[in-house]
Amino acid sequence: MNSTQSDDRSPPSSAARRSHRVAIVGAGISGLAAAHRLRELDPRVEVAVFEAGSRAGGAIATVANDGFLAELGPDNFISQPATAIELCSRLGLAEQLIAVEPSARSAYVVSRGKLVRLPEGFALMAPRRVSSFLASPLLSWPGKLRVLAEPLVPTRTDDADESLADFARRRLGREAFERIVQPLVAGIYTADPEKLSMRAALRRFFDFERRDGGLLRSLSRETQAIVPGGDHAASPGQQSGPRYNLFVTPRDGMQVLITALLERLPADALRFNSPVTSVSPLAQTDNADATATGWRVTWRRATDPQELVENFDELMLALPAPRCAELVANFATDLSAELRNIDYAGAAVIVAGYERSQVSHPLDASGFVVPAIERHPILACSFSSSKYAGRAATGKVLLRVFVGGACDPQAGELPDTELHTIVAAQLGELIGLRGTPCFWHVARWPASMPQYYVGHCDRVARIESLAERWPSLTLAGNAYHGVGIPACIASGEAAAERVLKRRAPCSERGRDVNVDVIGQVS
């Protein structure tokens, strides 16, 4: 680990400098993906990754204990777009990846205090298979007919943003929104549906209306596209039903992805327990559109109050937006103000292991989600040992319960004892759980999930425009173009490629650096 203090002199000339120095602040998946991509494309680049905490990976964390393999944060990622899959392949992890067990490729929704299976083929916001939707008891007959009347709803053709709640109620009706759409989306974003942006978070469905005039028309069109013998076949990423078969995870847990990335970096590139206290441009022009020629990074070791200073050619901030706002406030006030406007929500993940005999439910799905209208104090529960092989020893089960989110932030901050009581009561009522767990762990992730409020896309466009005033400053992370693992990796890798493209002489740009990176997760 690099712990040397550099002097505060200006960086040497390009002719004298042996390597291009890049500071990356934040060792979450985006920052690590960026550092790896920089070194992968140009091993001459000198990378320093500053992390305020004692570990890398951000919310990705795996715990192995007494036969249980528990994920404290994300437990998988989608294989389309292929960003994460491609990174795993380059890291030698392709053979590690396993898919959701066939018996668990469905989900339950809590309905009037009971678990009801989600209709087969339901595509997050609308049914693809009308017969299974009509047979489901999740909605009343008036609610079902309102959904099927969706093609008759007047179409919006403008590009104005809209909240998830407004969009779903307008196109599908209130009952479908409250009973199905809200809990399914809450399980992804832990968001307030009255504020969540359709353009930013659910662009695929937002575009359905503008392209085909409605959701059911688009889903019907996609269904026809994947019928064998049809005119063309849709790619897996375009299929509209529950795409459980597209979700994968490393056999030994998500942590192996972080470990593999760390192993590819030089040991002295990683600076744990090293919070950055300030950053500033080394030199700039006198006009409003300042151009930094380098960056002064001030940091310290967590155990030492003395501040250390280093100079870098490039600066990448792979941090939550509010923390980025703090660091750029002294030289880019407009950019800082926009970054501060991205709000965050937190949650608690309670992981619990039991004897199989303690649960009466068959656990024959990936888990269940809880509509807010049901007024339960939990958001969702994942049947981890049903979902992926190797998560619990024979005769035992592993469950993950989610509490908190944007609509109930206080719940995620409750003491462990209260969370234990809540989980026991809720799982007892919903899946017939009895007795005490043989394994128990609480992970709290405060302010960890960016909230893509209505207008988020426009805000990100302003942020990116303002950041361009500082050509050697790059932003990466889940605050901008997607919260999933593939989107975070894409953000980091794209940032790294922008750095190298700027560094390359004009005659070499586009020849040595691959800048084709898959973007946001739909």
Does one domain contain both 338 and 348? no
The pLDDT value recorded for residue 9 is 37
The pLDDT value recorded for residue 182 is 96
The pLDDT value recorded for residue 239 is 37
Is residue 228 over pLDDT 90? no
The pLDDT value recorded for residue 504 is 67
Does one domain contain both 265 and 308? yes
Is residue 282 over pLDDT 60? yes
| Angle at CA of residue 456, ends 194 and 454, nearest 5° | 25
Pick the more confident residue, 47 or 513. Answer: 47
In a domain, residue 361? The reply is yes
Is residue 506 over pLDDT 70? no
Is residue 432 over pLDDT 50? yes
Q: What percent of the chain has pLDDT over 90?
A: 80
Pick the more confident residue, 3 or 142. Answer: 142
Token reading at 509: 């740009």
Q: What average pLDDT score do residues 135-164 get?
A: 95
The pLDDT value recorded for residue 304 is 87
In a domain, residue 8? The reply is no
Q: What average pLDDT score do residues 252-266 get?
A: 98
The pLDDT value recorded for residue 229 is 37
- Whole-angstrom Cα distance, residue 350 to residue 381? 9
Bond from prior residue into 81 cis (ω within 30 degrees of 0): yes
Considering the entire predicted model, what is its pTM?
A: 0.88
Domain boundary among 408, 427, 450: 450
Does one domain contain both 335 and 407? no
The pLDDT value recorded for residue 12 is 40
Q: What average pLDDT score do residues 203-222 get?
A: 90
Does one domain contain both 406 and 436? yes
Does one domain contain both 141 and 227? yes
The pLDDT value recorded for residue 63 is 97
CB atoms within 10 A of CB 138: 21
Q: What average pLDDT score do residues 27-32 get?
A: 98
In a domain, residue 291? The reply is yes
Instruction: Give the pairing type, strands 21-25 and 62-65.
Output: unpaired
- Whole-angstrom Cα distance, residue 344 to residue 450? 4
What is the residue-averaged pLDDT of the chain?
88
Nearest to residue 257, comparing CAs of 70, 416, 141, 85?
A: 85
Does one domain contain both 459 and 333? yes
Q: What average pLDDT score do residues 364-377 get?
A: 97
Does one domain contain both 348 and 487? no
Q: What percent of the chain has pLDDT over 70?
A: 87
Does one domain contain both 472 and 327? yes
CB atoms within 10 A of CB 10: 11
Which of 26-35, 80-89, 301-310, 509-518 is predicted least confidently?
509-518
Buried-exposed string 243-263: b where 16+ CB fall within 10 A, e elsewhere: bbebbbbbebbbbbbbbbbbe
Answer for the pair 471, 458: CB distance below 8 angstroms, yes or no. no
Which of 332-336, 355-359, 501-505 is predicted least confidently?
501-505
pLDDT band for position 223 (50/70/90)? Answer: low
In a domain, residue 201? The reply is yes
Q: What average pLDDT score do residues 252-278 get?
A: 97
Dihedral sign, Cα of residue 122, residue 127, residue 130, residue 136: positive
The pLDDT value recorded for residue 505 is 53
In a domain, residue 224? The reply is yes
Dihedral sign, Cα of residue 486, residue 488, residue 491, residue 492: negative
The pLDDT value recorded for residue 244 is 75
For residue 126, the enclosing domain spans: 121-241
CB atoms within 10 A of CB 348: 22
Tell me, what amino acid is at 376?
H
DSSP 403-439: EE-TT-GGGGGS-HHHHHHHHHHHHHHHH-B-S--SE
The pLDDT value recorded for residue 69 is 98
